[in-house]
Amino acid sequence: MSDASRQAHWESVYTSKGENEVSWFQESPAPSLALITEICAVPSSAIIDIGGGTSRLVDQLIDRGFLDVTVLDLSAAALETPKARLGERAGRARWLVADATTWEPSRSYDIWHDRAAFHFLTEALDRAAYIARLEHGLKIGGHAIIATFALDGPEKCSGLPIMRYDAARLGQTLGARFKLLQSLGNDHATPWGSHQPFQFSVFQRVA
């Protein structure tokens, strides 16, 4: 899928559906918060949420006193939802409208969080482009938390094909500069009661 087609798809999704009308909606991003806690993040940790969309992770991070939070998404419409939800607090985060396969990080981060963006990259060139930005945008010693559909998860999401992973397969895809620290399964319940098996993997950026 071209960059323009990918962006048009997600703008259409987020302009036609409410926050809780998409399968990936979470009332609370508990698995992500637990892993951020486990890697000993501190208030000054620089955190970027890739494909953050309308996720409530940014709300929770601000509530917990994190001072350096960035949310990146392909869809400008998606980011308007958390901005409106946060009100004046939206100014405590940075908001980037960009494609993670073409964006050029201007700084590096301590934590790179991605819940269900990477698994949409079904083409090898797109995956390589994303990983190049991950390598550039994550500090040596920093942590990447990447969640995808598990091997027994759905084969499509939002009408698009996806790639399914377990921790080992994801580690092989990311390459030798990322050391797997832990992984966990998560059974995500959609707003309409179906279940989607996810896997969350934590990697450390190594030299």
User: Which token pair is 60?
Assistant: 């929770």
Closest-CA residue to 10 (of 102, 186, 2) = 2
Q: Give me the chain's average pLDDT, please.
A: 95
Sketch the domain layout of the chain as residue ranges: 3-205
**198: Cα separation from own chain's centroid:** 13
Beta bridge partners of 115: 147
pLDDT digit string, tens, across residues 18-32: 888 898 889 999 999
User: Which token pair is 187?
Assistant: 């059974």
User: Which token pair is 49?
Assistant: 């949420």
| Res. 13 pLDDT band, cuts 50 70 90 | confident
pLDDT value at position 1? 64
> Residue 135, CB half-sphere, CA atoms under 13 Å: how many?
13
Give me the CATH code for the 3-205 domain, please: 3.40.50.150
Is pLDDT above 80 for 3? Answer: no
CA distance 203 to 182: 7
Over the chain, what HEC string results? Answer: CCHHHHHHHHHHHHHHCCHHHCCCCCCCCHHHHHHHHHCCCCCCCEEEEECCCCCCHHHHHHHCCCCEEEEEECCHHHHHHHHHHHHHHHHHEEEEECCCCCCCCCCCEEEEEEECCHHHCCCHHHHHHHHHHHHHHEEEEEEEEEEEECCCCCCEECCEECCCCCHHHHHHHHCCCEEEEEEEEEEEECCCCCEEEEEEEEEEECC
User: Are 142 and 205 within 8 A, CB to CB?
Assistant: yes
User: Are 118 and 101 within 8 A, CB to CB?
Assistant: no
pLDDT digit string, tens, across residues 105-160: 999 999 999 999 999 999 999 999 999 999 999 999 999 999 999 999 999 999 99
Output the pTM of the full model: 0.95
